[in-house]
Amino acid sequence: MSSNKKVIIHYLFHSGFTVEYGDYFLVFDYYPPPDGTLIPEFSEKDIADKVTGYSYPFVFISHSHHDHFSPEVFDWKKYNPSLTYIMSDDVQQADYDNYKHLGVDYVYMSPYDNVEKNGLAVSTFGSTDIGVSFLLTVGKLQIFHAGDLNWWHWADESTKQELADEERKFKAEAARIEGERIDILFFPVDPRLGEHYFIGGAYMLETLQPRLFVPMHFGEDNLITHRFADRMRSTGVPVAEITHKGQKFEYDL
């Protein structure tokens, strides 16, 4: 288990990550690769070891889109009855019908809600798609996972008015978060936006000045994380450059 000042991050796939810190094991937006390849160090045995090896395991689901939510996460409850699920309220109850026998402990959250469980404080913000974004505080550590909050600038598919509306919505939500002290910021850097892939991430990085920026929501296009890191190098904020599923990063608080 990690020490009180060491944070261990594993990249799973797309927007999925695990964070290990002290007695806490956190899983964000688990989504197995659609090609069926396994995520290293994330077999059923690995998950069982993690879920049972930490006092406070949590699963976070930012919204119900298939690339952020896999119902198999509810199978993990069998390894540790204290496993807690914190989910956006757009995830429908019907998704749990096959898992009720496990006694799943879940918390639904809307934007701008707050909850505290086992010393972990969770505040939600909005999204520019559906669902929520998460701000977590545990001890001195603060983590922001954006879910699908992003500056969605679809230049080839939108009118000028639609693009202006997207910018306004994004910046209004970013203004709600401004002023928070963020250690680790997980945020989309989506190659489908073409030359505008970086604008949301750059805005959040420059506005929030996190101590570590972790790109996400790029599918198999790992190279985009290197492009973003090169672009942001002059800011002085470290950017995680992701090369493969299962990659490990360490952060010293």
Per-residue pLDDT reduced to its tens digit, 123-163: 999 999 999 999 999 999 999 999 999 999 998 888 999 99
Q: Which residue has the higher pLDDT, 189 or 94?
A: 189
CATH number for domain 6-252, candidates 3.30.1360.10, 3.40.50.2300, 3.60.15.10, 2.115.10.20: 3.60.15.10
pLDDT at 95: 59
Residue 56's DSSP bridge partners are 24
Q: Single out the residue of 174, 237, 225 nearest to residue 203, CA to CA.
A: 174
Mean pLDDT of all residues belonging to the chain: 92
Which segments of 48-132 are extended strands (E)? 56-61, 84-88, 105-109, 114-117, 120-125
pLDDT at 156: 87
235 phi and psi, to 5 degrees? -75, -20
40 phi and psi, to 5 degrees? -55, 140
Q: Report the predicted TM-score, pTM, of the whole model to 2 decimal places.
A: 0.94
